[in-house]
Chain A
Amino acid sequence: MTASLIIQVVLGGLLMGFVYALVAAGLSLIFGLMNVVNFAHGELLMLAMYGTFVIHENLGLDPLLQIPLIVVVMFGIGVAIYRLLIARALDVRFNTGMVQIFVTFGLSIFLVGAAQLTFGSDFRSINNGFLSNQTFTLGPVILPMSQVLAGVVCLLAFGVLAFISRTEFGRALEATREDRDAVALIGIDRDRVFSIGWGIGAAAVGVAGVMLASFYYISPTVGDNFALIAYVTVALGGFGSLLGALIAGLLVGVVEALTALFIDPSLKQIGIFAIYVLVLMFRPNGLLGRL
């Protein structure tokens, strides 16, 4: 157990942390916007990963180059989900909260089934990408290039999200979040804002999916694990807070990596769960949350 091993593990955890942060940001955005938990969020990640895989296999495009394409497609899927399903769920007269939960749950089950039907349950991976076998060396620390790039890209995407939140649209999102009925009076079209919000949230998780596809295994249920981590991350960072998602994502990534190292790889999530329980007990709003 050398110091450089620990540093390497921590760095690896930080890089994964950026990925987690981006996935969580997408979830938090939708959540903070309309108080809807997207229980199909993990499946959106899975879709992006499969999309990347398919395009790579058939067109030879490297994941890194696919980002613009996947972003557009995922944005469209997010909008479609909102318009076809969520908008209807929000308009329901009774039990709206519950309907929202189970509509997205049903969607997630549906998507897993669709993936299974289309691709089978076997694990897939992208093995001969541009970066597949390259490594990044920094002194005694060696990390796979694909993971380093994943971290960097996700951090950049996060920056884009932060930028958007400061624009006029970002403020419209905020206003709609505060009072969705009143904003109609000042000319903000609630449905349009929500659609775009969903689109952005899905696009964010899409970017994470593209980068993950370059080094992580791909299967119909791969989304479940990331979704769980995303829930914990969002809860930890505080619902509706982008900065909170970032800090929490990094924290989660590092804790997971250290737990795997010091305790047991198959128990690596225990550290995250433990933190979640602590936050639950003492700061239910999360570190930076505004409930």
Chain B
Amino acid sequence: MGDNAILKRRRRELIVGAVLLIVLAVLPLPIESVYLRGLIVLTLLYAGLSQGWNILGGYCGQISLGHALYFGIGAYSSTILYVTLGIPPTLGMFVGGALAALAALLVGWPCFRLSGHYYAIATLVISQMFLLLASNWNFINASMGITIPFRTQSWLDLEFRTAILPFHYVMLAYVAVVWIIAWFIEGSRWGFYWRAVKDDAAAASSLGVRIFSSKMAAAAISGAVTGVGGALYAQYIAFIDPDSVLGLSLSVLIALPAVVGGVGTLWGPLIGAAVLIPVQQLSASWLGGSGDGADLMIYGALIVVLALARPQGLVSLFGIRSQAGGAVVDRA
């Protein structure tokens, strides 16, 4: 029995991933612009967040428009633990991730029996509900937000004064870990089950797939990863408030790179983030400064065009296996 396409592809993915990691590790070194370095940090963060979203939305097929909820839980948990109890965010982020996973399970439990659009709306409404609650909850300082004071430079506390480079490596580690998790899952029993459920739930259950519990597993992992991302973001920006960590536009921005890049694929969220985040950030800086809206028009139009022109995602441009095809090159 020779090697088959699956094994070859998986090996190739690991090699490409390793190369990409090295490239990204050295990328910021020659760049001096603080702005550009910050842009790359954000791109990496959203790549990781979207990869996490992809686990539930892309592989499992449940389009969530409320992932900001998990991001916000991660951000607030880690921040509050740090600011009030001095617990370092390197630990706090796991607490945030665990709480976010729990929230994802609680949301999934009633919502997974809803189909497609109804599920999307439910996640949207639920996260908006928590945005409203958070904006009025004095324990977390309501809509005034929490500022993270700078104490001492430390990797444990993820505090680096004004240096951006360390955060580059933090975010790079984040997206690398999320990517590895996705790679593992893709080849695992769960990965197969999720894709089967997404393709044909009835056929899947006739083959022994427990639909509900596999969706809950996807939700928990996705939520946890998003929560950790939120905690890291909080340390990076050093200020969080309900609008910035629980808002709808954040939920959309978490989902978009995967959608645009290619849902249910390993590279989709990365490619999507690399395209979308710079466009969105740059147009916001150049055009949106005075709130004149042109940046939103570009951003919105780009989403529409990409969604219609490349519904299977940008990965298909690279001849990479996309959701819609098998192991062979798919240029549909």
A and B, direct touch (CB closer than 8 Å): yes
Q: Which residues of chain A have a CB within 8 Å of any CB of chain B? A: 31, 35-37, 85, 88-89, 92-103, 105-118, 120-121, 220, 224, 228, 231-232, 235, 239, 264, 266-267, 269-270, 273, 276-277, 280-281, 284, 291
Q: Is B128 an interface residue (CB 8 A)?
A: yes
Would you give 8 A-B contacts (Cβ < 8 Å), ordered by A? A37-B120, A92-B311, A94-B311, A99-B307, A103-B308, A112-B296, A280-B110, A284-B118
Tell me the complex Cα distance, A89–B306, Å. Answer: 11
Contact partners of B8 in chain A: CB under 8 A: none
Q: CB distance B300 to A280 under 8 Å?
A: no
Q: CB distance A102 to B307 under 8 Å?
A: yes
Q: CB distance A273 to B323 under 8 Å?
A: no
Q: How far is the CB of B204 from chain A (nearest CB, A)?
A: 18
Number of residue pairs spanning A and B whose beta carbons lie under 8 angstroms apart? 148
Q: Which of B108-133 contact A (CB under 8 A)?
A: 110-111, 113-118, 120-122, 124-126, 128-129, 132-133
Of B111, B132, B301, the contact of A267 (CB 8 Å cutoff): B132
Q: How far is the CB of A285 from chain B (nearest CB, A)?
A: 9
Q: Is B294 an interface residue (CB 8 A)?
A: yes
In chain A, what residue has the closest Cβ to B297? A113
Contact partners of B332 in chain A: CB under 8 A: 93-94
Given known contacts A94-B324, A98-B63, A280-B122, A121 and B308 CB-to-CB distance under 8 angstroms: no
Contact partners of B263 in chain A: CB under 8 A: 95, 98
Of A107, A231, A239, A284, the contact of B110 (CB 8 Å cutoff): A284
Contact partners of B293 in chain A: CB under 8 A: 112-118, 220
- Give 10 new A-B contacts, CB below 8 A, not counting A93-B312, A117-B294: A97-B116, A98-B263, A98-B311, A109-B303, A110-B304, A113-B298, A115-B293, A117-B297, A228-B124, A269-B129
Q: CB distance B115 to A291 under 8 Å?
A: yes
Contact partners of B239 in chain A: CB under 8 A: none
Mark B58-88 against chain A: 1 for CB-CB distance below 8 A, else 0: 0000010100000000000000000000000
Q: CB distance A291 to B118 under 8 Å?
A: yes
- At the interface, is chain A mostly helix, strand, loop or mixed? helix
Q: Is B219 an interface residue (CB 8 A)?
A: no
Q: CB distance B124 to A93 under 8 Å?
A: no
Contact partners of B128 in chain A: CB under 8 A: 228, 273
Of A106, A220, A235, A277, the contact of B118 (CB 8 Å cutoff): A235
Q: Is B295 an interface residue (CB 8 A)?
A: yes
Q: Which of B315-332 contact A (CB under 8 A)?
A: 322-324, 332
Q: CB distance A106 to B307 under 8 Å?
A: yes
Tell me the complex Cα distance, A107–B305, Å. Answer: 10
Of B129, B291, B311, the contact of A93 (CB 8 Å cutoff): B311
Q: Which 4 pairs across A and B sit closest by C-beta, in order of nearness? A: A113-B296, A116-B293, A110-B300, A106-B303
Tell me the complex Cα distance, A99–B116, Å. Answer: 12
Q: Is B259 an interface residue (CB 8 A)?
A: yes
Given known contacts A98-B63, A105-B252, A115-B293, A284 and B113 CB-to-CB distance under 8 angstroms: yes
Q: CB distance B110 to A95 under 8 Å?
A: no
Q: CB distance A108 to B129 under 8 Å?
A: no
In chain A, what residue has the closest Cβ to B115? A291
Q: CB distance B324 to A31 under 8 Å?
A: no
Q: Is B105 an interface residue (CB 8 A)?
A: no
Given known contacts A116-B291, A235-B125, A269-B132, A88 and B308 CB-to-CB distance under 8 angstroms: yes
Q: Is B136 an interface residue (CB 8 A)?
A: yes
In chain B, what residue has the closest Cβ to A121? B291
Of A88, A95, A101, A113, the contact of B294 (CB 8 Å cutoff): A113
Contact partners of B308 in chain A: CB under 8 A: 85, 88-89, 92, 99, 103
Tell me the complex Cα distance, A274–B250, Å. Answer: 23
Q: How far is the CB of B192 from chain A (nearest CB, A)?
A: 19
Tell me the complex Cα distance, A180–B85, Å. Answer: 59
Q: How far is the CB of B268 from chain A (nearest CB, A)?
A: 11
Contact partners of A284 in chain B: CB under 8 A: 110, 113-114, 118
Q: Which of B94-152 contact A (CB under 8 A)?
A: 110-111, 113-118, 120-122, 124-126, 128-129, 132-133, 135-136
Q: CB distance A89 to B110 under 8 Å?
A: no
Tell me the complex Cα distance, A270–B135, Å. Answer: 12
Contact partners of A89 in chain B: CB under 8 A: 307-308
Tell me the complex Cα distance, A69–B267, Å. Answer: 49
Contact partners of B225 in chain A: CB under 8 A: none
Tell me the complex Cα distance, A231–B116, Å. Answer: 14
Q: Is B248 an interface residue (CB 8 A)?
A: yes
Tell me the complex Cα distance, A106–B306, Å. Answer: 10
Of B111, B115, B255, the contact of A280 (CB 8 Å cutoff): B111
Tell me the complex Cα distance, A209–B302, Å. Answer: 28
Q: How far is the CB of B88 from chain A (nearest CB, A)?
A: 35
Most buried by B among A102, A269, A270: A102
Mark B269-296 against chain A: 1 for CB-CB distance below 8 A, else 0: 0000000000000000000000111111
Contact partners of A102 in chain B: CB under 8 A: 255-256, 259, 303-304, 307
